[in-house]
Structure 1
Amino acid sequence: MTDQTPDRYVSFSGIDCNGNAARLMAMLEAHMQKSESRWVSYFETKQEERRRMGNDDLHFIGSQLNTLRAFFEELEDDAALELLWDLEQTCC
């Protein structure tokens, strides 16, 4: 049997990294709009920096893995944590 696990170091073929990154960013934005967490102002600053530098969603997520994890854990958002883990394992 051939191993069907995608190798992110060879190719992103068959992995929707950009689509999944966009989904996670939408989840982040939704939480930021309704949360009073200390992380909100941090992410607002980091997103402004990202825009100025022209970095995409996947780059932002890869750069913010630990802080994103802390924020989603604080909010107990298991779906966002699962998607973050998947992105980390397959795309970052």
Structure 2
Amino acid sequence: MSCCKPGSSAGVDRYTTFAGIDCGGNTRRVMVLIEHHTLLQVDRPDAAFWAYFHQRRNARTAVQCDDLLLLASFVNQVRELFESCSDADGITLLEQLEAECF
């Protein structure tokens, strides 16, 4: 049984190598979707969380996170965001990141 989802890099095992896995590119794609859903909809009930999320992402002092670490830290909130926006592509991409990069 394969752990890979349809459309992911079949046969790539992140525990052996990250070769062939586009963690950086997929992380950027997920962040673009998050920005689209949160920065354009400032009246969201979870707007305070997303303001915090973007603050952490753009921090220049204190604790700084790269985007992959930030996504891994808040994967459940990102999933809820995509589900609330009916963003099937975002959910698929997030699941691929979870399987290949987290």
Distance of 2:27 and 2:76 partners within structure 1: 15
User: Which residue is 1:91 aligned to?
Assistant: 101
SS in 1 for 2:16: coil
Letter matched to residue 97 of structure 2: L
CA distance in 1, matches of 2:57, 2:66: 8
Q: Which has the higher mean CA deviation after the structures are superposed, 30-39 or 67-76?
A: 30-39
When normalised by structure 2's length, the TM-score is 0.78
Counterpart Cα distance in 1 of 2:56 and 2:34? 16
Greater relative contact order: 1 or 2 (C-alpha under 8 angstroms, separation 6 or more)? 1
Give the Cα–Cα distance (whole angstroms) in 2 for the partners of residues 40 and 79 of structure 1. 22
Between the two proteins, what is the percent identity of the paired residues? 33
Q: What is the Cα deviation at residue 67 of structure 1? A: 0.6
Structure having the higher helix fraction is 1
What is the alpha-carbon distance in structure 2 between the residues aligned to residue 27 and residue 46 of structure 1?
A: 14
Query: What are the residue-to-residue correspondences of 1:2-81 with 2, within 5 Å?
Result: 5-35=11-41, 36-52=43-59, 53-81=63-91
* Distance in 1, Cα, partners of 2:47 & 2:15: 32
Per mean C-alpha deviation after superposition, the further-off stretch among 28-37 and 74-83 is: 28-37
TM-score (norm 1): 0.85
Q: How far 1:19 sits from its partner (Å)?
A: 0.7
Number of equivalenced pairs: 89
